[in-house]
Amino acid sequence: MGVAVFAACTSAGIVFQRRLAKNENAEGDKVIQLKLAHFFPATHPVEADLLNKWSEEVEQATDGRIKIVRYPGETLLKANDIYQGVMDGVADIGMSCFSYTRGRFPVLEVFELPGVIYKSAEAASKTAWEGIKKTQPEEIQDTRLLMVLATGSGDLFTKTPVRNLNDLQGMEIRATGLSAKTLDTLGATPIAMAQSEAYEAMSKGMVEGNLSPLEVLKGWKHAEVTNYVTKTPFLYNTLFFLTMNLDKWNSLPPDLQKAVEDVSEKCFQEIGAGLWDRQNEDALNWAVNEMGMEILELSEQEMLLWINKVEPIQSEYVEKLKKRGLNGKEILDMAKQLADKYNDGW
């Protein structure tokens, strides 16, 4: 009896090992391995909280027929190469910022325009996700978009207080891309540099502040080299994508496609949409309570003055889309209406 049981167990073990060797799951189905590339460190909440959970749930929802192999920290593709890398099949799935390839996503720039108020990362994320579903822009049809998420508003971190537009004039602020254009329009002097260089630049007086999400106060220790946070919920928003190679997506059977879509929507609603809110809240509490930073709020009249100043950037967006045969005003109005809708809960 014992010998028979041992023989049966040994036989089962050999079959299981053979299936593993053939890249099969316990039911004998071939396991589809998908490579996911992103630029966040392995300890960042995007990797640790969102993508880790998403990967696990995809594997569970597909009964192990899909396995996600993640490559964090630019170990497979550089941040600004990820979208193209997904298109080319270097990675099957990728997460990065749309703005890292500025000009490639002209319609989606609407969700990063200054002058649109976002009271939270969740409101910004849900505005963009619903807006994308409504417009289905041609620029993202070359991959299968699974999810987007946003940082929400970026605020000004400075050594000296910025209580009004006059205080900002000529101030050298670290910013890149559209944020730099926004600050220039407001009368500041934007200085382009990577986030990783900003701490040293501020500590040495090379720049006087930064325009970024609150998370960098703690994550990048910017609260150690600045004294004031001026709340500006209308100047900055960065939009991230999670997208899949289109050929790879089309090769999946319908039941697996549905499983991936369902898990993506669930993880967006439960984790992704508000991911930066949790980081921002934690960082701000640390900056104020541990580092003694002071929070400055613009008056409603002052806020309107700033918003009116950056309106030409919105007009430029509308005209740019018009030249492409698209109704930029309609798209901008839609984004503002959705922002109002999702801001209501905050």
- Express each pLDDT in 89-140 by its tens digit: 999 999 999 988 888 999 999 999 999 999 999 999 999 999 999 999 999 9
- Grade residue 29 by pLDDT with cuts at 50, 70 and 90: confident
- Grade residue 16 by pLDDT with cuts at 50, 70 and 90: very low
- Grade residue 346 by pLDDT with cuts at 50, 70 and 90: confident
Mean pLDDT (whole number) for 20-38:
74
Mean pLDDT (whole number) for 168-186:
95
Collapsing DSSP to helix, strand or coil, 97 comes out as strand
CA distance 284 to 223: 9
Domain boundaries, the chain: 155-236+290-343
Collapsing DSSP to helix, strand or coil, 236 comes out as coil
CA distance 188 to 181: 10
Task: Give the pLDDT score at 23.
Answer: 55
- Grade residue 170 by pLDDT with cuts at 50, 70 and 90: very high
Task: Give the pLDDT score at 21.
Answer: 37
Strands 209-212 and 155-158: antiparallel
Give the position of tokens 């170990």: 75
- Grade residue 196 by pLDDT with cuts at 50, 70 and 90: confident
pLDDT for 248 beyond 60: yes
Taking each helix axis from N to C end, the angle separating 177-186 and 311-323, rounded to the nearest 10 degrees, works out to 130
Which residues have a Cβ under 8 Å from the Cβ of 69 and sit 6 or more positions away? 33, 34, 35, 36
pTM of model > 0.85: yes
DSSP bridge partners of 213 = none
Rounded to the nearest angstrom, the gap between the alpha carbon of residue 301 and the centroid of all alpha carbons in its chain is: 31
Hey, what CATH class is 155-236+290-343 in? alpha beta
Q: How much is the CA Rg of the chain, to the nearest whole Å? A: 23
4-15 confidence digits (pLDDT tens): 433 444 333 433
Task: Give the pLDDT score at 59.
Answer: 99
- Mean residue pLDDT across the chain: 92
Task: Give the pLDDT score at 126.
Answer: 99
Q: How many CA atoms lie within 13 A of 11 on its CB side?
A: 6
Task: Give the pLDDT score at 27.
Answer: 53
Closest among 274, 281, 282 to 345, alpha carbons compared: 274
Percent share of the chain, pLDDT over 70: 92
CA distance 155 to 235: 8
Supply the DSSP symbol for 112: G
Collapsing DSSP to helix, strand or coil, 294 comes out as strand
Mean pLDDT (whole number) for 142-170:
98
Burial class (CB in 10 A: 0-12, 13-18, 19+), 137: middle
Task: Give the pLDDT score at 9.
Answer: 42
Mean pLDDT (whole number) for 9-37:
60
Q: How many CA atoms lie within 13 A of 78 on its CB side?
A: 4
Long-range contact set of residues 286-293: C-beta below 8 Å, sequence gap at least 24: 286/217, 286/218, 286/223, 287/214, 287/217, 287/218, 287/223, 287/229, 290/223, 291/217, 291/223, 291/224, 292/227, 293/157, 293/217, 293/223, 293/226, 293/227, 293/228, 293/229
Q: Which amino acid is at 264?
A: S
Joined tokens for residue 20: 């593993």
DSSP bridge partners of 96 = 241
Collapsing DSSP to helix, strand or coil, 210 comes out as strand
CA distance 155 to 175: 11
Task: Give the pLDDT score at 252.
Answer: 98
Rounded to the nearest angstrom, the gap between the alpha carbon of residue 14 and the centroid of all alpha carbons in its chain is: 45
280-327 confidence digits (pLDDT tens): 999 999 999 999 999 999 999 999 999 999 999 999 999 999 999 999
